Amino acid sequence: MKHKILLVDDRPENLYSLESMLMEDDRIIFKANSGDEALKIAFQEDLSLILLDVQMPEMDGFEVANMLKSTKRTKKIPIVFVTAISKEKKYMLQGLDEGAMDYLFKPLDTDITRSKVNTLLQFFAQQKEIEQKNNELLKLNEEKNFFLGMASHDLRNPLGNIITLSSLISQDIGHNFPDEYKNYLEVIMSTSRRMLEMLNNILDVSKIESGVTTLDLAPISVHDLFQECISCNKLPADKKKIHLSYSIADSTGKPYADKGQILQVLNNLVSNAIKYSHPSTAIELTAEGSSEEITIHIIDQGQGIPESEHKVLFSAFSKTSVRSTAGEGSTGLGLNIVKKIVEAHHGRIWVKSKPGEGSVFPFLFR
């Protein structure tokens, strides 16, 4: 690919001397002797670099740069200001504010000019390559999500059959089975339920990442939300004699949010708190803030998480050295989904936790 370089100067003799300095086989040189002409060329051609005279009648170099930087098509083109005006700091800073990458001072030194141009062309080529790779990665990620979404969606039906039919067998004739076979049936049912949970999580991730899910926003009652979350999690909590409670600060208003999705966030955090806590401990949910911004804390007295592992907590499929206390299953997707939902609500989630001191997962949204 040939690099296209635009030289801008109101004096033709300057343009020709620059051209002869920079002309090489792998370059196409364009010349403009006014800001207007420069903009026209810049919008038409895919330029790799612009050398821009600062002092020109009508539109000066700073104005041209400003226009180039405020247009999507041209804003990434590196600009070098070529100037005879004094090397005063304030001019240089103005140029840099307008988006210049560098300065060249007249009279131009051939070696310095060539070397700066070479470096910037290299820089631009690398930047283009990174952008291209990034786009390829985004496309691959989209394909991955599509594939995961399809696979998990289509696997759910046959799995649903296994769950329903094995429960039917267990209910209808299971009591006649020898103990060994009763155990087998239990294993079939519990593993297929775990698999369904996993598939649902994968489907959630792929849906959120591909932007299929939209937020159904309405004012929500935090009180109702906490109540619902506690009743969803009562059974596993009771099994471990874990006490669930909540408190809501008086000032807390009714924030705009997608109730179903925020409930999914709470359920994930509370189910973690139960899963990674020892029996006979307590979990508390708190809320504070206003209708504009609300912060919720999920506080447990569980095992706590070593600081060095905090950074991986919210990545997909990541688990820490902390294990569930009653053999509950885990896919490592819960907190990744939670983070995505919270961020879709323009919020953020973080963790405060130390081994032996329990964990607090605060999250805010607005």
Ligand X SMILES: Nc1ncnc2c1ncn2[C@@H]1O[C@H](COP(=O)(O)OP(=O)(O)OP(=O)(O)O)[C@@H](O)[C@H]1O
74 binds, among ligand X, Mg ion, none (CB under 5 to 8 A by kind): none
286 binds, among Mg ion, ligand X, none (CB under 5 to 8 A by kind): none
Note the residues at the interface with ligand X (CB under 6 A): 201, 268, 272-273, 276, 300, 302-303, 305, 313, 318-320, 322, 330-336, 359
Nearer to Mg ion, 334 or 347 (CB): 334
Nearer to ligand X, 100 or 322 (CB): 322
Nearer to Mg ion, 334 or 358 (CB): 334
In whole angstroms, how close is the CB of 269 to Mg ion at the nearest point?
A: 8
303 binds, among ligand X, Mg ion, none (CB under 5 to 8 A by kind): ligand X
In whole angstroms, how close is the CB of 209 to ligand X at the nearest point?
A: 15
In whole angstroms, how close is the CB of 213 to Mg ion at the nearest point?
A: 19
In whole angstroms, how close is the CB of 203 to ligand X at the nearest point?
A: 12
Residue among 61, 95, 334, 358 that touches Mg ion (CB under 5 A): 334
In whole angstroms, how close is the CB of 264 to ligand X at the nearest point?
A: 11
Query: Which amino acid, residue 147?
Result: F
Give, as ranges, the residues between 5 and 44 that touch Mg ion (CB under 5 A).
none
319 binds, among ligand X, Mg ion, none (CB under 5 to 8 A by kind): ligand X
Instruction: Write out the chain in H/E/C secondary structure.
Output: CCEEEEEECCCHHHHHHHHHHHCCCCEEEEEECCHHHHHHHHHHCCCCEEEEECCCCCCCHHHHHHHHHCCCCCCCCCEEEEECCCCCHHHHHHHHHCCCCEEEECCCCHHHHHHHHHHHHHHHHHHHHHHHHHHHHHHHHHHHHHHHHHHHHHHHHHHHHHHHHHHHHHHHCHHHCCHHHHHHHHHHHHHHHHHHHHHHHHHHHHHHHCCCCCCCCEECCHHHHHHHHHHHHHHHHHHCCCEEEEEECCCCCCCEECHHHHHHHHHHHHHHHHHCCCCCCEEEEEEEECCCCEEEEEEECCCCCCHHHHHHCCCCCCCCCCCCCCCCCCCCCHHHHHHHHHHHCCCEECCEECCCCCEEEEEEEC
CA-based Rg of the chain, rounded to a whole angstrom? 31
Nearest-CB residue for ligand X = 334
Nearer to ligand X, 3 or 339 (CB): 339
In whole angstroms, how close is the CB of 319 to ligand X at the nearest point?
A: 4
Give the count of residues interacting with Mg ion (CB under 5 A).
2
Number of Cβ atoms within 10 Å of the Cβ of 168:
11
Residue among 145, 252, 272, 277 that touches Mg ion (CB under 5 A): 272
Nearer to ligand X, 55 or 264 (CB): 264
In whole angstroms, how close is the CB of 260 to Mg ion at the nearest point?
A: 18
Nearer to Mg ion, 83 or 277 (CB): 277
294 binds, among Mg ion, ligand X, none (CB under 5 to 8 A by kind): none
Number of Cβ atoms within 10 Å of the Cβ of 171:
9
Nearer to Mg ion, 257 or 313 (CB): 313
The contact set with Mg ion (CB under 5 A) reads 272, 334
